[in-house]
Amino acid sequence: MVSFFKTKYESILNRIFPSGFYPTRPFNLNEVHMDDLIKKAAEDLAAAGKVTALTGAGISTESGIPPFRGKGGLWERFDPMEIAHIDAFMKDPAKVWNILVKEMKAIVDTATPNDGHKGLAKLEAMGKLKTVITQNIDGLHQAAGNTDVIEFHGTFAWQRCMDCSRKYETREVDISKIPPLCICGGILRPDAVFFGEMIPQDALWRSRQIASDCDLMLVVGTSAVVQPAALMPVIAKESGAKVVEINPERTPLTDEISDYLIMGEAGDVMNRIVAELEKISPPAALETPRTQS
Ligand code: OAD
């Protein structure tokens, strides 16, 4: 709808108000609409009692971590079935380590949270957001300060021995020899979910519970094409929650499940939503009252 109006009317409006005549900047319908949606999201958050977030790779792109799909995505360069399927890892662990895991380790070891992650952490600090369900394995929500993070696809922070299940912090793993080995001699693998593997049962179970119990779900930076994660907004919607998407692109949820899409980058959008929410509910008012001496 927005893009329809944008393409249909924006050039006409810019012709009616040629640059120079229009005092500050050319008319931009997307921005006008975006301001309204940001305000609406802040109002919806202020009114909501139980807020949860579902995040995907898009929230971490501003931290320098590439997404999977779309421009610059990992699956543009690699066939996921050849390097991210459990069968591929079992067949040739060294190949998967050399092509995928080493590169991920280099990026994730040094990545830091961006404004998108920090915005969600602020929502938790404001008492608004409780749980983040993330498909990401980069640990950046926890690094930003969110305390209840469900890692739907596991974590890259740890490597696990395929023989004895001993765990090693990824940052500490010596990759001078590939694949790296456990002290027992077993091969180390990321403690994350490969294609072809089950979602950790507790993550799946809790996510479904939380999705069905929330009254607003923020869906940030996911293409919403991988199941069962993409089912969580559907469960939320069916249970009566509002679903608000933040993504520069449309997804299969847009117009079908989401109440509205805020078309923008997570960092900028989250900064603006938090700023609006602070106007409605100033931070001081949200602080726990001090006990009287
Ligand atoms: P995708 O790479 O499929 O999608 C990333 C989404 O983020 C796209 O919809 C982009 O439009 C959006 N995006 C990009 N930059 C953004 C930004 N700055 N702010 C907000 N959104 C932005 O990533 P996921 O949906 O997370 O699974 O992919 C789901 C699963 O597929 C992953 O967990 C992974 C993958 O294969 C496994 O490895 C098991």
- Asked whether 265 lines ligand 1 (CB < 6 A), one says yes
- Asked whether 69 lines ligand 1 (CB < 6 A), one says yes
> How far is ligand 1, taken at its centre, from the CA of residue 57, in Å?
4
- pLDDT digit string, tens, across residues 26-51: 445 556 689 999 999 999 999 999 99
- Asked whether 58 lines ligand 1 (CB < 6 A), one says yes
Q: At what angle do helices 115-125 and 266-280 cross, to 10 degrees?
A: 30
> How far is ligand 1, taken at its centre, from the CA of residue 117, in Å?
14
The answer to whether the pTM exceeds 0.75 is yes
- pLDDT digit string, tens, across residues 49-98: 999 999 999 999 999 999 999 888 999 988 999 999 999 999 999 999 99
Spatial contact of 222 and 58, defined as CB atoms under 8 Å apart:
yes
Can you read off the two tokens belonging to residue 70? 């779309």
Burial (Cβ within 10 Å: 0-12, 13-18, ≥19) of residue 290: exposed
Spatial contact of 135 and 222, defined as CB atoms under 8 Å apart:
yes
The alpha carbon of residue 14 and the mean position of all alpha carbons in its chain are separated, in whole angstroms, by 35
- For the cut 70, the answer to whether the pLDDT of residue 286 exceeds it is no
Task: Round to whole Å and give the CA distance between 266 and 221.
Answer: 7
Give me the residues paired with residue 168 across strands. Answer: 159
- pLDDT digit string, tens, across residues 218-236: 999 999 999 999 999 999 9
Give 144-148 contacts, CB < 8 A, sequence gap 24+: 144/113, 144/117, 144/118, 144/120, 145/118, 145/121, 146/117, 146/120, 146/121, 148/124
